[in-house]
Structure 1
Amino acid sequence: MAMIENLKYPIGVFVQPSKITDDLIEDWIHVLEVLPERLNDVVKDLSDEQLNTPYRPNGWTVRQLVHHLADSHHHSYTRFKWALTEKSPLIKPYDEKEWSEIFDAKSAPIQLSLDYLKALHSKLVYLLKGLSASDLKKTYLHPDHPNHPVSVAENIAKYAWHGSHHLAHIQALIHRKGW
């Protein structure tokens, strides 16, 4: 069981820091800024067979992970915008497992999502670097946790972790397979 947990969470589960500092915000924004290039560097030379390899037993393929990152970070960008423009809006979640089963996640060229992530993260990072201290405190509500508003600052942390988490899935698979 421990091996599966290590495969699922190669960098550990997300833990929200009790105190969010300006330095942490800056570090997380940098992680988001470099994610598209880091991801591209890791997957650019993989064959279709390698892209269609699950990162763990019963897990998504590398291709599905790349498309999931684009889908998930698209949703995150929208959540940032809602939090910044509405008073603690209730967001609409999406079923990421079902999205990963749609044919495009299983078959589309990864370059589509790599290009999208590059553009999306350019916009996202530009937005995040311009936020004020009061912007960072703005929140949204997730229907799964309606009593815990998620601040913009917390969401930055979550998505910096999320990108690193899935990148580590791919890197660990490449290492295990000796690709």
Structure 2
Amino acid sequence: MEDLEKLRYPIGHFNCPAEISVEDLKDWINVLETLPVRLSNLVSGFSETQLETPYRDGGWTVRQVIHHLADSHHHSYTRFKWALTENRPLIKAYYEKDWSELFDSKTAPIDLSLNYLTALHAKLVYLLKGLSSEDFKKYYIHPEGGINVSVAENLGKYAWHSNHHFAHIKNLVVRKGW
């Protein structure tokens, strides 16, 4: 059996650089820009059985991972907007595990979330490419621990999140020989 930590965090945990460079921002925006196509290409042609396969024992199915990406990135987009338009907004957290157990996350066609991610990421990338260096310093407050999260750090987190879940599915494909 593979190491559970490696299965859960195939690219490791997110570590935000102490100083976020312009190059970091460009790289992270590129990850968000390319995720919808990369993900669609990866899962195109998956059978229902493949979509119902968990990426690890006790983990979400491929279908749930795809719907989770859409749900989570929807929240992220809103967090960006709040941070950019309000003074230190306190965001609302959501219970991603509970959301993944909802009917739509377990049964909806993945094209709903793949198409949504395509549109959402196009809007988000357009927004991010137009931000000033001062905009990237704006932040929101996360209710769990009262942590300040800058727009730049949130960008890094969601670039990591994109690659994290992409790797879950990609590694499953490799392990299963799909």
The normalised TM-score by structure 2 is 0.98
Structure 2 Cα separation of the partners of residues 14 and 71 of structure 1: 19
Structure 2 Cα separation of the partners of residues 110 and 135 of structure 1: 34
Q: Partner residue of 2:139?
A: 139
Q: Partner residue of 1:171?
A: 170
Structure 1 Cα separation of the partners of residues 177 and 15 of structure 2: 31
Structure 1 Cα separation of the partners of residues 83 and 42 of structure 2: 32
**Superposition misfits of 4+ residues, deviation over 3 angstroms:** none
Alignment of 1:39 with 2:39, yes or no, is yes
Residue correspondences, number = 178
> Which amino acid in structure 2 is aligned with residue 170 of structure 1?
I
> Which amino acid in structure 1 is aligned with residue 105 of structure 2?
A
> Which amino acid in structure 2 is aligned with residue 102 of structure 1?
L
Partner SS state of residue 145, structure 1: coil
Structure 2 Cα separation of the partners of residues 15 and 95 of structure 1: 22
Q: Partner residue of 1:60?
A: 60
Give the unaligned 5+ runs of structure 1: none
Q: Partner residue of 2:150?
A: 151
Q: How does 1:22-101 map to 2 (within 5 A)?
A: 22-101=22-101
Give the unaligned 5+ runs of structure 2: none
Structure 2 Cα separation of the partners of residues 176 and 53 of structure 1: 12
> Which amino acid in structure 2 is aligned with residue 59 of structure 1?
G
Q: CA RMSD in A?
A: 1.0
Structure 2 Cα separation of the partners of residues 109 and 77 of structure 1: 22
> Which amino acid in structure 1 is aligned with residue 12 of structure 2?
G
Q: Partner residue of 2:123?
A: 123
CA distance 1:49–1:2, shift in 2 (3 Å):
closer
Structure 1 Cα separation of the partners of residues 46 and 78 of structure 2: 31
- Please state how far the C-alpha of 1:19 moved relative to its aligned partner: 1.1
- Indicate the percent of aligned positions where both proteins have the same amino acid: 65
Structure 2 Cα separation of the partners of residues 170 and 77 of structure 1: 23
> Which amino acid in structure 2 is aligned with residue 83 of structure 1?
A
Partner SS state of residue 140, structure 2: strand
The normalised TM-score by structure 1 is 0.98
- Please state how far the C-alpha of 1:2 moved relative to its aligned partner: 7.0
Which digits, 9 at most, give the CA deviation of each residue in 1:94-145, with x for residues without a partner? 0000000001100000000000000000000000000001100000000112
Structure 1 Cα separation of the partners of residues 155 and 76 of structure 2: 9
